[in-house]
Chains A and B, each alone.
Chain A
Amino acid sequence: MTTAPDTPPRARRGPIAPWFTTTVGTLTSIAVTMLGLLFVTFFIGRVMPIDPVLAIVGERASQSTYDQVYRQLGLDQPLIVQFAYYIWDVVRGDFGVSTLNARPVLEDIARVFPATLELATLGVIVGVVFGIPLGVASAVKQGTWIDHLARVVGLVGYSMPIFWLGMMGLLVFYGILGWVGGPGRLGIFYQGIVPDRTGMILVDSALAGEWEILGNAFSHIVLPASLLGYFSMAYISRMTRSFMLEQLSAEYVTTARVKGLSEWAVVWGHAFRNIRVQLITVIALSYANLLEGSVLTEIIFAWPGIGSYITTALLAADMNAVLGGTVVIGLVFICLNIFSDLLYRVFDPRAK
C-alpha cells in the first residue's frame, strides 16, 4: 500500500514500462502480506489469556509496580498505536525478551536457526536427488512398476505422521541396528570442540578440519534429513511426473523422436529442459514446507532448531518467543514464495 502513490504521476506522462508496474505490484503485495502476517501474530498475542504484565512482575507485585510495567509495555495505548509500535519493533529486529531466559528473542532465534537451515537444506537435497529421477522415470515409463512405486511413495508420504516415522526410524536404525547416531546433533564426546562460525555443524567441522567430528555429525543428521527428504521427495516426484507427462505429450517430443534422437536425448535434452523452471518453483516451495515439517522432526530428534525452540517456548507460555519464531518462519516462507515467483518470471518468457 505504501508504494502505491508512486504510480499516478508516472501514469500521466505516458505509458509506463510494464516491468515498473509489475515491480510495484509485487512490492505492494509483499508489503501487504507481511503486514498481514504481523497483524495475525499481533492479534494472537492480544487474544492470549496469559497476562504479559504478570509474566514479568510475578504474582506478588504491588499494584503500583503492575501499573508501571503496564504503561512501560504500552498496554494503556489504543490498539492501533500498539500495533504501530509492534511493527516498528519488528522492523528493528526487536521481538522482545524471552520470559523464560530473559534474553532477547532475536538472539535466541539467530542461535537456533542455522540448525534448522542445515537440516532443511540437506532434506531438500535428498528430496531433489531422489525425487526428480523418480518423477521423470515414472512419467516416461507410465503404468510400469516404477510408476506404481512412485505412487506408493507419494501415498505413504502424504499419509504418514512424520513424527511417528521419525520415532520408528530411531527405533530401527539407532535402537536395533545401531547404524546412525541417536538424537541430537553430535555425540556427547564431540560437543563444544569445534568453534562456532556458521552455526551449522557440518560446515563448522569441515572448516576446522575436524573430520572425525564431521563424520559423527553426519551420522546424527542423516536420519532426520532423510526423513524430511522423504516427504519432499514424495511432493517433488509427483510434481515432476505431472510436468513431464505434459511435456512428453507435446508435438515437439514426437518431432524429436521422428528425427531419430535417442530416448535419453528426448527425455533429458528436450522435455526435461522445459520443466526446469517449474521444478525450481516446486523445490523452493518444498523447501518452505520443510521448515514447517522440521518442527515435529526436531522434537523427535532433539534437534536444537527453531521448531524445538517454538515448542519449548509454547509449553512454557513464553509468548514473545513463540510469536518471534512464528514471524521469522512466516517471513522465510513468504520470501521463498516470492523468490520462486521471481525465478518463474525471469526464466519463463511466457510469464512476462
Chain B
Amino acid sequence: MTALPEHGRGRGGWRDWLLSDAPASRGQARAAAAWQGWLNFRSNTLAMIGLGILLGLLAVAALAPWLAPYDPFVQDLGNRLQPPGTPGHPLGTDSLGRDILSRLIHGSRITLYIVALVALIAPLAGLLVGTVAGYAGGWVDTILMRITDIFLAFPRLVLALAFVAALGAGIENAVIAISLTAWPPYARIARAETLTIRSSDYISAVRLQGAGPIRIITKHIWPLCISSLIVRVTLDMAGIILAAAGLGFLGLGAQPPSPEWGAMIAEGRRFILDHWYVATVPGLAIFTVSLAFNLLGDGLRDVLDPKSGEGG
C-alpha cells in the first residue's frame, strides 16, 4: 500500500510525501492531515472566493498608507460631495471633501481590528467557562451554565447597547460590549465537547499519570475543542462586523473623524436622497467582507466539522 504511482520529481515529490499512506513521523502525519483538509477546502469554489476577498482585505489593511491616494482625515471643502468617477476621486468625496476611497481603505484596518479583538476575546472566554463547567461538573457547572443561559436570553444588540451606554462610546468599549454578548455560544460548544472528552480513556490515562485538572484542561481538552470553535468563530465574524458597524452607525462605536465604515454610513445618511454614494459605498464594503466571512465559514465547517451539516 505504501507505493504510490510515481508523479515525477520536484512538486510531485512533495505531494507524494504529503499524500503518503504511511507517514514516517508525527510531523509528516500532521502536514498530511493539513494538506488533505486544504485539498477538500480548495474544491469549494465559494469558500475560496471568500478566502480570496479576505486575503485582499488583509493586504489592503496592511498597505493602507501606501494604497490610499489621500489622507483620510484631510478636508477639502471646495471639493465636497463629488460623485464617483470624478478625476482623482474614483469613489467620490464626502460632505467634508474627504476622499471616500482613502477613508474606505483606512477603515478596513478598524474593521479588522475590531473583528480580531472580538474573535480573540469571546471564544477564549467561552472556552474557559465551557471547559471548566464541563470538566468540573456539579454545582460549578450549574452556576456557570445558568450565567451562560442568562446572557443567551438577552437580545445581543440591545445588551451591547446597554453596555456601551454604561462604558461610554468608543472602539475599545464597543469591542468589550460585543465580546460580552458573544461568548455564551462558545461556552455551550466547549462544554458539550468537554463532556464527551471528559470520560474518554485517554483522559483517565493522563489522570493516572498524575496530571492535575488545569493541565488536563489546557493540554488535553482545549486542543480538541479548537476546531469546532474556529468554525463557529468564522461564522460569527460576519455577525461581529455587522454588530460593530451597527454600533458605529448609532454613534456608539468609533467616533466621528474615524473612517469606520458604520460611522461613514451614518454620515452619509443625511445626504442619502441627493448623494447616494456617500452611504452606499461603505455599506457595500461591509456587505462584501461579511459575505466573505460567511462563505469561508461554510467552507471551513465542511472541512473541519463534517458532522454538523446545515442549520447549526
* A interface with B by C-beta (< 8 Å): 29, 32-33, 36-37, 39-41, 44-45, 47-49, 155-156, 158-165, 167-168, 170-171, 175, 238-239, 241-242, 245, 288-289, 291-292, 295-296, 299-300, 310-311, 314-315, 317, 319, 322-323, 325-326, 329-330, 333-334, 337
Contact = CB atoms under 8 A, between A and B. Distances in A.
B280 interface: yes
Interface size class of B (residues with CB under 8 A): 35 or more
B165 A36 contact: no
Interface in B143-161: 146-147, 149-151, 153-159, 161
Interface of B: 146-147, 149-151, 153-159, 161-168, 238-239, 242, 245-246, 249-252, 262, 265, 269, 272-273, 276, 279-280, 283, 286-287, 290-291, 293-295, 309-311
Nearest to B280: A168
13 contacts: A36-B146, A48-B166, A155-B294, A158-B239, A159-B291, A162-B246, A167-B265, A167-B283, A170-B272, A171-B273, A296-B157, A314-B250, A326-B162
B283 A322 contact: no
A170 to B, nearest CB: 7
Contact of B290 (A45, A159, A170, A295): A159
A167 B311 CA distance: 30
A40 B287 contact: no
A317 B311 CA distance: 40
Contacts of A175: 272-273
A170 B166 CA distance: 32
Interface centre among B147, B166, B251, B269 (most CB of A within 10 A): B166
B163 A299 contact: no
Nearest to B288: A159
Contact of A167 (B163, B279, B295): B279
Mostly, the B contact residues are helix
Given A36-B150, A170-B272, A245-B310, A292 B155 contact: yes
B158 A292 contact: yes
Nearest to A30: B153
B265 A159 contact: no
B311 A333 contact: no
A36 B147 contact: yes
A300 B269 CA distance: 9
Given A32-B146, A161-B246, A311 B155 contact: no
A44 B147 contact: no
A164 B252 contact: no
A292 B265 contact: no
B43 to A, nearest CB: 17
Contacts of A330: 153-155, 158-159
A45 B168 CA distance: 12
Contacts of A333: 153-155
A241 B310 CA distance: 9
Given A33-B149, A167-B269, A311 B310 contact: no
Given A164-B265, A326-B162, 10 more contacts: A33-B153, A36-B150, A37-B153, A44-B162, A167-B269, A295-B158, A311-B250, A314-B250, A323-B162, A330-B155
- Which 4 pairs, one residue from A and one from B, show the smallest C-beta to C-beta distance? A36-B150, A164-B283, A292-B155, A242-B311
Contacts of A245: 310
Contacts of B279: 164, 167
A319 B166 CA distance: 8
A159 B149 CA distance: 26
A319 B162 CA distance: 9
A315 B287 contact: no
Contacts of A289: 155
Contacts of B272: 167, 170-171, 175
Contacts of B293: 159
Contact of B166 (A45, A241, A296, A299): A45
